[in-house]
Amino acid sequence: MSDAVPVADVFDALAAAAPEIRAGFAGRAGETDDRNATGDRQLHADIHADDILRARLGGLDAVGQYASEEAEDVSDVGSGPLSISVDPLDGSSNLSANNPTGTIVGVYDAPLPAAGRDLVAAAYVLYGPLTTMVAATDDGATRYAITSDGRRDDEPAVLPDDPTVYGFGGRVPDWTAAFTDYARRVEDELKLRYSGAMVADVNQVLTYGGVFAYPGLRDRPTGKLRTQFEAIPMAYIVEAAGGASTDGTRSLLDVEPDTLHERTPIYLGNDALIDRAERIVS
């Protein structure tokens, strides 16, 4: 499916939600008493963003299922053919320091949990100094400016050939020996840029070329990031922009999650850097 009507509706609804989500940041950086399905403490801003997206995306005629990183289970929201996965506010802990956050959306033509190969579209919104969106279909990736009037100023999002930046998550003492070896080689060639919000860090890679990784750690081999909500949609966007992805051994689009909230190591970026990761860390 290309950017046909139902997928365009999802992108439009996300673009309409973004200013409302951003307007809700003020006063919502604090923690609630609740934790999400993966045990993270939820912020008021996480809940607020999820409420907005559940209403706007879950309310579309084309959508049958809605699943959020903030909720335990998939919700049946209608009879449409599309399923939506949402990380409502990725990097929300950055709000306290007034650093960037994002929203990640996957659109599948299969029930959730679903594989990357079931994606028909994906998009992320970056709440940086400006609000921008990168939306991808099988036809490629497009970058938009987001205003109160929706998405505009579209231009192709294409990963530059010459890599410049890298960002690796996790504490260095928690990295495996193989990943440390990979990181040392990348550090010799590229410049460190790491914000702590995956959307912002991947957006830098898409802008300048390079590699983003959150590897498996010594005491947590699957790493931190969620397969369905973060890894698969962002891999789809990076691959649509001309880049590559891996979990260490195969494209993240070939991963078939068994459960909604499982985690995976993740590497996204230029082909050569992803190939090298597979050679060194697998």
Q: Contact letters (x/-) for ligand AFP, 204-233, by CB under 6 A? A: ----------x---------xx--------
Consecutive H or E run containing 124: strand 119-127
Report the residue from 64, 113, 116, 169 that binds ligand AFP according to the rule CB under 6 A: 169
234 forms part of the interface with ligand AFP (CB under 6 A): no
130 contacts 104 by C-beta, under 8 angstroms? no
Residue number, 225 or 244, with CB nearest to ligand AFP: 225
β strands within 162-260, DSSP E: 165-168, 191-192, 210-214, 244-246
Residue number, 63 or 166, with CB nearest to ligand AFP: 166
Report the residue from 78, 196, 222, 276 that binds ligand AFP according to the rule CB under 6 A: 196
Report the residue from 64, 91, 215, 233 that binds ligand AFP according to the rule CB under 6 A: 91
* Beta bridge partners of residue 29, listed in sequence order: none
Report the residue from 62, 121, 197, 260 that binds ligand AFP according to the rule CB under 6 A: 197
Bin 207: left if φ > 0, else alpha if -120 < ψ < 50, else beta: alpha
Residue number, 60 or 197, with CB nearest to ligand AFP: 197
Omega of the bond leading into 88 within 30 degrees of 0 (cis): no
Nearest to 237 by CA among 269, 277, 280, 273: 269
Residue 169 Cα to chain centre, angstroms:
14
Residue number, 28 or 117, with CB nearest to ligand AFP: 28
Residue number, 64 or 223, with CB nearest to ligand AFP: 223
SS3 80: coil
Residue number, 64 or 265, with CB nearest to ligand AFP: 265
Bin 136: left if φ > 0, else alpha if -120 < ψ < 50, else beta: beta
Least Å from the CB of residue 63 to ligand AFP = 24
19 forms part of the interface with ligand AFP (CB under 6 A): no
| Residues sharing a CB contact under 8 Å with residue 72, sequence separation 6 or more, in sequence order | 37, 261
Least Å from the CB of residue 198 to ligand AFP = 3
Nearest to 226 by CA among 120, 86, 95: 86
49 contacts 39 by C-beta, under 8 angstroms? no
Packing angle of the helix pair 198-208, 232-240 (nearest 10 deg): 10
Report the residue from 17, 62, 126, 198 that binds ligand AFP according to the rule CB under 6 A: 198
SS3 172: helix
Binding segment toward ligand AFP, per CB under 6 A, in 60-68, 73-81, 91-99, 269-277 = 91-99
Binding segment toward ligand AFP, per CB under 6 A, in 3-11, 12-20, 27-35, 87-95 = 87-95
Least Å from the CB of residue 225 to ligand AFP = 6
Least Å from the CB of residue 64 to ligand AFP = 27
66 forms part of the interface with ligand AFP (CB under 6 A): no
127 forms part of the interface with ligand AFP (CB under 6 A): no
Q: Which residues bind ligand AFP (CB under 6 A)?
A: 40, 90-94, 169-170, 196-198, 214, 224-225
